[in-house]
Amino acid sequence: MATCPTGHESEATDYCDICGTVMGGPPVAAPSGVPSGMPASSATPVPAAPAANAEGGRSTCPDCDAPRTGRFCEECGFDYAVEVSGAIRMAEQAQSVQAMLQGRTAAQSAQSGRSSRPQQTAAFQAAGPPPTAPPVGPPVMPAPVTTPQGVAPDPQPQAAEATYGGAWEAVVTADRDYYNTIIGMGGPDASSVPFPPYCPERRFPLTGQQVRIGRRSRSRNLSPEIDLTGPPEDPGVSHLHAVLLAQPDGTWMLVDPGSANGTAVNGSRESLPQNVPVPVGDGDRIQLGAWTVITLRKG
């Protein structure tokens, strides 16, 4: 540790840490009332003059013009020794603080992870060992069920696919013969409805307790299970034209809730009565619109 010309002990070798005097300069006389050889720091402090020192050091801060009282400016933190702006020093200090906080956060996360592992281990121990696979061997046949004498056995439940119309489908096609019959019956719009030049076969599975037949309608929020919207679109099909109702024995009932052009079955010229269920089954043909035919298939 060096001593400045005014008698201060300074760690810096260029400017004094206490008074800012250039290190290695000519000795400065001690203030009046201070014995010779005694450091000036032991006497009553005398404010330093704002004038420049003998080596041309700064007497005011270049950032904020505050009077110099030591190595660092008391207003903005300017470092006179290395000529570093106080803003730069503050940014460096902020980065150091941020790095310290990040390190502390990482240490806390690691500590919490270590503290949670014993809890997980305890939970696994409480759950017990994982179940072991059963030994491999010949399948064990269930013992036959015997019925007491004089008691009739319970009827076997129906298969799942037979309940409520399972394993059925509806095949939709454009039928030219049916179209010719409709056109032959006449009507004000018969001549303006052409037969579609191309209409691919469509298949719809029959699932659930009811299957609606018609055309999709956004305004009515209607999306029938058998959607005949097209293309091509049969103009004679209502938005809700007919409904298939599944029966517990695996059969179906067909209901026309009030379509505009009616519904027929198997080539009949008479439309179904409205809201009257009619039984239909495998191979039956449901005719509706100008040329649409729906064939029911089982299995």
Cis peptide before 231 (omega within 30 of 0): yes
Q: At which of 63, 83, 103 does a domain end? A: 83
Residue 149 has pLDDT above 60, yes or no: no
Three-class secondary structure assignment of 203-261? EEEECCCEEEEECCECCCCECCCEECCCCCCCCCCCCEEEEEEECCCCCEEEEECCCCC
Residue 275 has pLDDT above 80, yes or no: yes
Same domain, 73 and 166: no
In sequence order, what are the beta bridge partners of 245? 210, 253
Q: What is the pTM of this model?
A: 0.47
Q: Which residue has the higher pLDDT, 45 or 222?
A: 222
Q: What band does 156 get if pLDDT is binned at 50, 70 and 90? A: very low
Same domain, 70 and 174: no
Q: What's the angle, vertex CA 232, arms to CA 229 and CA 233, rounded to 5?
A: 45
Residue 261 has pLDDT above 80, yes or no: yes
What's the number of domains the chain is made of? 2
Same domain, 168 and 290: yes
Tokens of 96: 């150091």
In a domain, 108, yes or no: no
Alpha helix (H) residue ranges in 146-209:
176-184
| Res 37: pLDDT | 43
Residue 46 has pLDDT above 80, yes or no: no
Contact 52, 58 (CB under 8 A): yes
Contact 133, 167 (CB under 8 A): no
H/E stretch holding 79 reads none
CATH, residue 287: 2.60.200.20
CA 249/CA 251 separation, integer angstroms: 6
Q: Tell me, rounded to whole angstroms, the distance of Cα 221 from its chain centroid.
A: 28
Q: Tell me, rounded to whole angstroms, the distance of Cα 110 from its chain centroid.
A: 28
In a domain, 143, yes or no: no
Q: Please write the tens of the pLDDT for every residue from 195-248.
A: 999 999 999 999 999 999 999 999 889 999 999 998 899 999 999 999 999 999
Contact 282, 296 (CB under 8 A): yes
Where in the sequence is the domain holding 239, given as residue range(s)? 160-298
